Structures are given as C-alpha cells and as structure tokens.
Amino acid sequence: HVAKLIGMPRHSRHVGQALKFISDDVTPPIPWHRVISAAGTISSRGPGTNGAQRQRDALEAEGVEVTDGRTGDFRVNLSTWGWFPEPGTIDIGDYGVAALEEESDGEE
C-alpha cells in the first residue's frame, strides 16, 4: 500500500529495500516495523536473522496483536490493524513518482 500511495503500485519490493537500509540513527525515526506484506505477514529476512522477531516485538509494544501462522510466520490481521488511506489523500511531499522521474531525467 505504501508503494501505491507514492504512485508506484507495482514496486512494493522497492519499499522493502528502502526500509532495509534505513539507519537506526535517522531523525525523525522511521517506523519501519509498521510495514508488513499485503498478506499481513512479517518477512522472515532469511535464516539466522532476528529481524522478524524484532519487528514482532516492536509491533506488540505498540499494542498490535501478532499471531503465529501455520507455517511459522508471524501474522497481523489487516482488517483490524491495517492502514489503507486512499492514494492522493496523504501528503508525500516531493517523494512521489514525479520526483523520482525528475531524478532519473538524463540518466541511462
């Protein structure tokens, strides 16, 4: 839904990649832990990592209910906890598609 809000509905993986590289020291802090898949699952982030557990812990600290899925994944009920504003109703400043297109003008 974040990708849709910035005018790039088919680029949800870009959102995940952008969040992956955010520094813990960024000000103001970005609530990366609130971004989950469209299916309501928390990404595992690969074997041997604790990112999914950290995300679960952060969501639960905010009062969000996270359950264990059938395949061992963590799940959030989006009908209860989802945030789905209509595209065009959120001020994204200069970070929409037009800004991205301007940045890429003249680049191959």
Cα 1 to Cα 9, 19, 49, distances in angstroms: 7, 14, 25
Cα Rg of the chain, angstroms: 16
Rounded CA-CA distance 64/92 in Å is: 25
Identify the structural domains of the chain with CATH numbers, from first to last. Answer: 1-81 (1.10.10.10)
At residue 97, the pLDDT reads 52
pTM metric for this prediction: 0.72
Sign of CA dihedral 43, 44, 50, 56: positive
Q: Say if CB 11 and CB 3 are below 8 A apart.
A: yes
The number of CA neighbours under 13 Å toward the Cβ of 16 is 12
User: Is the pLDDT assigned to residue 108 strictly greater than 50?
Assistant: no
